[in-house]
Amino acid sequence: MIRFLLKGILRDKQRSLLPVVIVIIGVMLTVFLYCWLRGILNDSIELNARFNAGHVKIMTASYAKNVDQLPNDLAITGVDTLLIKLKREFPEMKWGERIHFGGLIDVPDSRGETRAQGPAAGFGIDLLSGDRSEIERFNLEKSLRRGRLPVHSGEILMSEEFSVKLKVNPGDTVTLIGSTMNGSMALYNYTVSGTIVFGTGPMDQGSVIVDLDDVRNALDMNNAAGEIVGYLADNYYDEEKVAHVVTKFNSLFPASNDEYAPVIVTLRQQNSLGKMIDQIKAVGAFAVFIFVLSMSLVLWNAGLLGGLRRYSEFGIRLAIGEDYSHIYKTMIYESVLIGLIGSLIGTSAGLLGSLYLEHHGLDLSNMMKNATILMPAIFHTRITSTAYFIGFIPGLLSTVIGTMLSGIGIYKRKTAQLFKELET
């Protein structure tokens, strides 16, 4: 019987084409939308990871407890040996040392008196070693507004807004007033090499980026780092792989009472990203629901039209002795077949589009003009395993619901009228 129905669907193009096309479009949109949302989620995760959290982050136990205060007196010491060990034990990871610090940026006039002053949040990252990983993670080249990136020690990047506020131009000298690891005051002069835009208010108001070794010199943090961030090699945050890293790390560095002992935290533990993932999932479910609803309505009508076309077919089947409920059931089977065919094609099309955008991205930099660290101009889709089946939910549900609604009409046919109806 199924084979019989399938033949009917394939041969009666006018009957099946409209529903299939509707399903294909709806499923394609669902899959694509889902991948798009996952892409945005993924981009924000990766942004967060690159800029702040890493896929994992290693700190001392007490630094981790007070991380908001940037407690550099609690920084990891003996970073060299720790890094050697990390690189050996986790060849699949890339590591980066970072120092977050706070301080005042003081701008002297020609006589050395303070001309302007402002509080700054500072990032010490590797800019000069020749390894460009951190420069890329911070998207520095694209975020540069004026001047150039530091190429010598003693050079500093300022956020554009901050530099305007302090009336500082590339080439000017500024003084960092901060505190050393041991708590004494630190004064250090830098030459401004360029300005950058972060794309977020608080950071643009007063941030500086300096090479790691320059910060170490300034703050007396020789061979120390506040944090070591770690990244999975393929640059995608994968909870399973990260969990694996965490387990291994914890066996290498068992928990102790030493408050300077290194501890590891994951990206998810550091931020409210768990919540964000859940929200995106809710949005995805809502989108699917909307598609199911609207496609059902359209398919209901398509079903009614199809029912008209097949009026005499159903009549003859009733006369030959098919049950009402059996005809109704075969209509549902047919809708499942149509739903499956449409969902398969729609999912393939949606995945294909998403696949392209996953690799090439949609570059909106022309429209967005100014790319920033926190607002990359290239959008990527992200294909997860869910994307392979999520389209089948609206695809199947809507055809089945649409058919269930339109098919009810079959129960209203009176067999007593069949001879008359079939005479013409």
Partner 1 sequence: MENSTLISIEGLKKYFPTSGGRFTALNGIDLTIGKAEFTGVVGPSGSGKTTLLNIIGSLDSPSEGRAVVLGQSISNLNPKQAALLRRSKLGFIFQSYNLLPVYTVFENVEFPLLLLRLDDNLRRKMVMDSLEWLGMTDKVKSKPAQLSGGECQRVAIARAMVKKPEIVLADEPTANLDAANSHNILKTMARLNSEFKTTFIFATHDDKVIGYLKRKISLVDGKVTMDEIRNN
Chain positions contacting partner 1, by CB under 8 A: 1, 4, 7-8, 11-12, 312-313, 315-326, 415-416, 418-420, 422-424
**Chain CA centroid to CA 31, Å:** 16
Is the Cβ of residue 240 or residue 423 nearer to partner 1 in the bound state?
423
95: helix, coil or strand? strand
The dihedral formed by the CA atoms of 80, 81, 84 and 89, expressed in degrees to the nearest 10 = -140
Question: Is the CA virtual torsion 149, 52, 261, 131 positive or negative?
Answer: negative
Is the Cβ of residue 2 or residue 243 nearer to partner 1 in the bound state?
2
Is the Cβ of residue 68 or residue 423 nearer to partner 1 in the bound state?
423
Q: Taking the CA of residue 286 as centre, how many other CA atoms within 13 Å lie in the half-sphere pointing to its CB? A: 7
* CA dist 115 → 167, 179, 190, 271 (Å): 9, 21, 16, 39
**Chain CA centroid to CA 361, Å:** 13
Is the Cβ of residue 95 or residue 314 nearer to partner 1 in the bound state?
314
CB 227 within 8 A of CB 97: yes
Per-residue buried b or exposed e for 373-388, using 16+ beta carbons within 10 Å of the residue's own CB: bbebbeebbbbeeebe
In the structure encoding, which two tokens stand for residue 267, read together? Answer: 């990206």
Is the Cβ of residue 255 or residue 320 nearer to partner 1 in the bound state?
320
Is the Cβ of residue 236 or residue 324 nearer to partner 1 in the bound state?
324
**Nearest-approach distance from CB 384 to partner 1, in angstroms:** 40
* CA dist 424 → 78, 311, 420 (Å): 95, 12, 8
Is the Cβ of residue 16 or residue 195 nearer to partner 1 in the bound state?
16
Residue 369 region by backbone torsions, left for phi larger than 0, else alpha for psi between -120 and 50, else beta: left
**Nearest-approach distance from CB 334 to partner 1, in angstroms:** 12
The dihedral formed by the CA atoms of 207, 211, 215 and 216, expressed in degrees to the nearest 10 = 160
**Taking the CA atoms of the chain, what radius of gyration do you get in angstroms?**
31
Is the Cβ of residue 1 or residue 255 nearer to partner 1 in the bound state?
1
**Nearest-approach distance from CB 398 to partner 1, in angstroms:** 24
**Nearest-approach distance from CB 331 to partner 1, in angstroms:** 15
**Nearest-approach distance from CB 396 to partner 1, in angstroms:** 24
**Nearest-approach distance from CB 273 to partner 1, in angstroms:** 54
Is the Cβ of residue 299 or residue 318 nearer to partner 1 in the bound state?
318
**Nearest-approach distance from CB 340 to partner 1, in angstroms:** 20
**Nearest-approach distance from CB 139 to partner 1, in angstroms:** 59
Question: Is the CA virtual torsion 59, 62, 63, 66 positive or negative?
Answer: positive
Total residue count of the chain as it appears in this document? 424
**Nearest-approach distance from CB 402 to partner 1, in angstroms:** 21
